[in-house]
Amino acid sequence: GAVVSQHPSWVICKSGTSVKIECRSLDFQATTMFWYRQFPKQSLMLMATSNEGSKATYEQGVEKDKFLINHASLTLSTLTVTSAHPEDSSFYICSASLRDQGARAVSEKLFFGSGTQLSVL
């Protein structure tokens, strides 16, 4: 299957600093990538849709000036958490969509990066 690489796997930072998370599709081109965050024992919450060559589309309630998304190429999207605060501590996961011809239908499968655990002190 398709491989999505995400790093760093974990990061600890001081309150007020910025953290950049990278997401790369290694063996396919991803026009669109998605950023999710997940709190313990909760499901994935979509933060934004990252489109190559254009501005990201943010979900309601997600501050675009705080969570900066850049999709510079067909294989790389970055999420920068600016001026991080302890409440930003979470598991951040990126994903990329790949079209797949199944036995009965074509699907757009999501392939996930390994996630980044962010802890803000």
> What is the binding site for other proteins (CB under 8 A)?
1, 6, 32, 34, 36, 41-46, 49, 91, 93, 97, 102, 104-105, 107-115, 117
Name which of 36, 19, 23 is nearest 84 in CA terms. 19
Rounded least distance, CB 62 to other proteins, Å: 13
Report the residue number, 82 or 91, with the smaller CB distance to other proteins: 91
Show the tokens assigned to 36: 């999710």
Q: Write down the least CB distance from residue 104 to other proteins, Å.
A: 6
Degrees (nearest 5) of the Cα angle 111, 84, 34? 20
In the complex, minimum distance from the CB of residue 16 to other proteins, in angstroms, rounded to a whole number: 27
Q: How many CB atoms lie within 10 A of CB 82?
A: 15
